[in-house]
Amino acid sequence: MTLVKSSSGIRGTLGGKVGKGFSPIDIIQFAAGYVFWMKKKHKNKKKFVLILGRDGRVSSILFQKFLIITFQSLGVDVINIGLSTTPTVGIAVMNEKADGGVMLTASHNPKNWNGLKMFNSYGEFLSEKDFEKMLYIAEKKYFHFSSYKKLGHLFYKENYIHKHIEKILSLSIIDKKIIQQAQLKIVIDGINSTGGIAVPILLKSLGVHVVKMYCDPHGDFVHNPEPIEKNLREICKKVPDLKANLGISVDPDVDRVVFICENGDFFGEEYTLVSIADYILENQLGPIVSTLSSSHALKDLSIKKGVPYYSTPVGEIHVVKKMKEVHAVVGGEGNGGIIYPKFRYGRDALIGIALFLTQVSKLDNIPLSKLKKRYSNYFMSKKKIRFFFHSHERYQRMELLLKTIKKRYKGKKMDFSDGIKIYFKSNEWIHIRKSNTENIIRIHTESPSKKRADFLAKKIRYEIKEL
């Protein structure tokens, strides 16, 4: 059983003892802690309103009931928008002028997981400082329930995904007309979650001929839901078989998007951000922000465009914080997460899709296999090692691991802001860090040579397992 608490939210496996997995008791405790963090944040308010959304997981419709009861019992009004996406909840918080919001999802984790993503009143994830305060309140149980006279009310608002999409299509940078003229045929893998609702609605609004795969949001994921190449072999085969222009895959809560080339090749989750940043910079020059684990291809693009590039620790809140500091025009993560600040400070697959299709259509419907050749060609290896962090001893082991690796690579340029990143010549690097979303160590390596990227990954994994 696993329960992970990080700035990316609360998530865990279903079942098991309280405090060891994502159980109903844990849901109530963290939901209550979140409400009392919110009440402390806005001390002068007497009435509070929260947005609640859920992904298509089998357990989400059940756990949604626990959240509604908890919020109402704490005297908070709930606007339930039902089946939704994580960015849609952020949009709803802004539109309704709510005090916060919660999305019931475990993002890219498998179907035996679920979790809570929590928003502030700006429709953004809680900052690291605010999350720690919320966690402290939840774990110390510094909250009390309301009397029957002060119970919260429940409201339902449907079609919020439509409102989200309408807001996207109102942006001047999205050229609906040119996308319609391109007459695109696109295959969409909705992983049987809310992407199966949201992405087809968006594409049809843009005049796209849609071929659906796994778009029934019943939550029975037919493959591992993380949108990476090894999990998307079926859509990679289907796109050329159907002579489609491209394919699109999203994760279960629709904050990450990846594309499939017309020939079935994987465009690459790292190149989602690279390509969209290229299009945005054609319209407005300014800084770019991404994470230490993102491809060097994005930095190469910034050099080519003559704009500053900044990297942060992995995690949406870190990227958003730096974007605000430097007034970035675009940012995100190399996992397919796009943040367009003129729309909202948060990853959003739907805005990413609309930007990407505008770019492709303006380039005379250039094949994706040809578009990718415009950018630096790097190869990345992404590996993971199971590593449990339930005890202080495990944390000490992680510290020892990083200390040993640092000593072994003495003399190399290194960055310690998120685990350890080691730089080599020829734009090669290794990044070793503890995951925010699973009990694993993530190892990312990159090189202009696939052979070298794989070698570096194999080498560092062997060195870690030796410890």
Residue 218 in tokens: 């019943």
Cα 171 to chain center, whole Å? Answer: 22
| CA distances (Å), origin 263, targets 236, 259, 389 | 8, 12, 42
Q: Three-class SS string for 204-245?
A: HHCCCEEEEECCCCCCCCCCCCCCCHHHCHHHHHHHHHCCCC
Contact yes or no for 268/356 (Cβ under 8 A): no
Q: Among 106, 85, 83, 90, which residue's Cα sits nearest to residue 156?
A: 83
Instruction: Characterize the bridge pairing of strands 48-54 and 9-13.
Output: unpaired
**Helices (DSSP H) in 58-207: which residue ranges?**
60-73, 86-96, 128-140, 160-169, 176-182, 195-205
Give the start-to-end residue ranges of the domains of the chain: 3-160, 180-372, 379-466
Please report which confidence band the pLDDT of residue 135 belongs to, taking 50, 70 and 90 as the band edges.
very high
Which residues, 6 or more positions from 45, have their beta carbon under 8 angstroms from its beta carbon? 39, 99
- Exposed, middle or buried, 451 (CB in 10 Å: 0-12/13-18/19+)? exposed
Question: Is the pLDDT reported for residue 89 higher than 70?
Answer: yes
* % of the chain residues with pLDDT over 90: 84
The answer to whether 368 touches 271, Cβ cutoff 8 Å, is: no
Which overall architecture, per CATH, does domain 180-372 show? 3-Layer(aba) Sandwich (3.40)
| Cα separations in angstroms, 465 against 256, 293, 387, 388, 457 | 31, 21, 11, 14, 12
Which pLDDT tens digit goes with each residue over 257-285?
Answer: 999 999 999 999 999 999 999 999 999 99
Predicted confidence band at 341 (pLDDT cuts at 50, 70, 90)?
A: very high
Please give the mean pLDDT across all residues of the chain. 94
- Are domains 3-160 and 180-372 of this chain identical in fold? yes
pLDDT in tens, 193-228: 999 999 999 999 999 999 999 999 999 999 999 999
**Confidence band (pLDDT; 50, 70, 90) for 401?**
confident
Supply the pLDDT for residue 101: 98
CATH topology of domain 379-466: TATA-Binding Protein (3.30.310)
- CATH for 3-160 is 3.40.120.10
SS3 172: coil
Q: Is the pLDDT of residue 132 over 80?
A: yes
